[in-house]
Amino acid sequence: MFICYRFFVNIELVSLSVLTNGIYKSVEHRVIVNPDKERVSLAYFFNPKSDVLIKPATELVTSTEPALYQPMTYDEYRLFIRTK
């Protein structure tokens, strides 16, 4: 009997686009289910506090590359991504 174990770590920073001033984009996590094989997933979620300020990194904002996003709290960011 062959048993294949796989361990994946998916780190998704939802505010990646804001923090990098649009240089990197966050991706949507998607899974294709194989109906013939059993799958076990374990998820752990961590978010900053609702009042944490999220804005582009100062080093990435210049006169030639202005900020693409205004500073916002994490709660404001969550509302922002739902209205896009």
pLDDT at 25: 80
Q: Is the pLDDT confidence value at 2 over 60?
A: no
Which residues contact residue 54 at a Cβ distance below 8 angstroms, ignoring those fewer than 6 apart? 15, 18, 19, 48, 71, 72, 73, 74, 77
pTM tops 0.85: no
Dump pLDDT digits (tens) for 55-74: 999 999 999 999 999 999 99
Per the CB < 8 A criterion, the answer to whether 20 and 60 are in contact is yes
Residues linked to residue 54 through DSSP beta bridges, in sequence order: 72
